[in-house]
Structure formats: structure tokens, C-alpha cells
Amino acid sequence: MTEAFGIDIGGSGMKAATVDLDTGELTADRRKIATPRPAAPAPMAEVVEQLVRHFDWTGPVGVTFPAIVRHGVTLSAANVDNSWIGTDADALFTKAIGNDVHVVNDADAAGLAEMRYGAGRGRRGVVIVLTFGTGIGSGLFIDGVLVPNTELGHLEIDGHDAEHKAAASAHDREKLSWKAWAKRVERYLQTVVFLFSPELIIVGGGVSRRSEKWLPYIDIGTELVPAGLTNEAGIVGAALVSTLGDDVE
């Protein structure tokens, strides 16, 4: 067994676990800690250190982050504090834990996991992985190769940032029925299909565990499936990234 360690940072929670890279399965129960408020670099680095210490991990660490990430530097700040813009997250987390850290966009990491172990395994052509959570993350793949930092959750649709209306957080915040929320997601997906003509769209995030409640309401004329790794894709992708380093960018 080849074991690695991944941390998946989201707008509401920071989750971690060890992962078997041969199978893509978690080798321990995941640990989750609420994302600090404000979600600024120093307090979030402390949580990363707590997660690593909880698992007694001493090797390289992969970390997903809800932002544009280029060579370990965060260049945007969706659903986290604006002080992250321009921060060398690789260096910050490496200093906090004393281990080598590689940070990557959260949806890109989830997509890498889905393409290797989940619903995208063996698929060619254009495949898009979308994660529905606090926001909407996206991973775009062409014949299995990642096009990083696509940020399709920020497409403007009907005058609004898409994730403001169609993220899973909107479902909870506005107390929408699954059918009403699914229609918003359908509108968003129609735009994604028009722009990119994907052969497959994989939907992940926590709501993928309840896909039977909302996917049946969506018809976009393109194959649409729930993530095979459900909400664990981020952790698995982060663990995978810890072994790939800059090769994912």
C-alpha cells in the first residue's frame, strides 16, 4: 500500500485523512475542523498543523484550497479572507508543520481524484468536474489532462455570479426545495454545456451524497453523474497531489 496524506480546505470546514493511493480509499476516519472566522492565513495554518498532528503524519502533505493557485501562491479568495490574495500558501503551511506542502485548487484536486479513481476513470474527451459546496468549484480535463484554475463557478448568469444562486450553500441559505434548487443548477449547467460541450459532467461536493433528490430534475442533454468518491474526492486529490508536486500545474 502506498499511503499519502491530504487536507481539503473549504469555506466552512477543513478535512483531512490518510489515503491509500493504490485504491483511492481513506485508510483512517477523516478529521474535520471548522474553518476559522475570519478565514485568514494565520488561524488556518494553525488548523492545518492540528490536522497533521492528529494523524501523526511526518511526510509530504497535499492541501486543497478554494482559490486560484499558481505554483503554491493563492491568487484569489473566494469564500475565505481577502488577505489570502498573493499569499505563498505552500511556504506558509510548510513553515507551520515542518513538512513539505503542495497547495492546489480544491476542485482541480477533486477532479484529479475522480479521473483516477472515480466516475471519470478511463474517460476521454472533455470532462468537467463540478463541486457544489459553499461555492462552485470546477476541474476541466481534456483526454485526462487537467486545465488548471478554471473557476467556472464564477460565470455570470442572469446578472449574478453563478455560485451565489446555484451553490449548495444557496439551497441551505434560502431553504429551497430540492426541485427548486435543481432548476437553478440546471440553468447553470446549460451555460457550462453551451460554452464547453463536455462529453461528461461529474457533480461532487456534499450534495453528491444525496444526488437522487435533485439530479432527476435536471436535463441538459449531456451525460451527468454524481462523483464516485462523493465528498471524499478533495481529500483523495490532495493526497495524490502530495506525490505529484508541481506536475499538476
- Give the pLDDT band of residue 245 (cuts 50, 70, 90): low
Cβ–Cβ under 8 Å, residues 133 and 169: yes
Q: What's the number of domains the chain is made of?
A: 2
Residue 38 lies in a domain: yes
- Give the pLDDT band of residue 25 (cuts 50, 70, 90): very high
Amino acid, single-letter form, for residue 236: V
Residue owning grid cell 451565489: 164
Residue 114 lies in a domain: no
Cβ–Cβ under 8 Å, residues 142 and 181: no
Predicted pLDDT at 67: 93
Q: Is the pLDDT of residue 248 over 70?
A: no
Note the pTM of the prediction, 2 decimals: 0.92
Residue 30 lies in a domain: yes
Q: Domain check: are 85 and 15 in the same one? A: yes
pLDDT tens digits along 122-157 = 999 999 999 999 899 999 999 999 999 999 999 999
Radius of gyration of the chain (CA): 17
Q: Is the pLDDT of residue 19 over 80?
A: yes
Predicted pLDDT at 231: 84
pLDDT tens digits along 57-77 = 999 999 999 999 999 999 998
Residue 117 lies in a domain: no
Q: Is the pLDDT of residue 54 over 70?
A: yes
Predicted pLDDT at 246: 59
Q: What CATH number is attached to the domain comprising 197?
A: 3.30.420.40
Q: Is the pLDDT of residue 244 over 90?
A: no
Range of the domain at 238: 3-108+232-248
Q: Domain check: are 178 and 193 in the same one? A: yes
Residue 24 lies in a domain: yes
Cβ–Cβ under 8 Å, residues 86 and 205: no
Cβ–Cβ under 8 Å, residues 102 and 72: yes
Q: Domain check: are 85 and 161 in the same one? A: no
Q: Is the pLDDT of residue 247 over 70?
A: no
Q: Domain check: are 157 and 101 in the same one? A: no
pLDDT, mean over the chain = 95
Amino acid, single-letter form, for residue 193: V
Predicted pLDDT at 186: 98
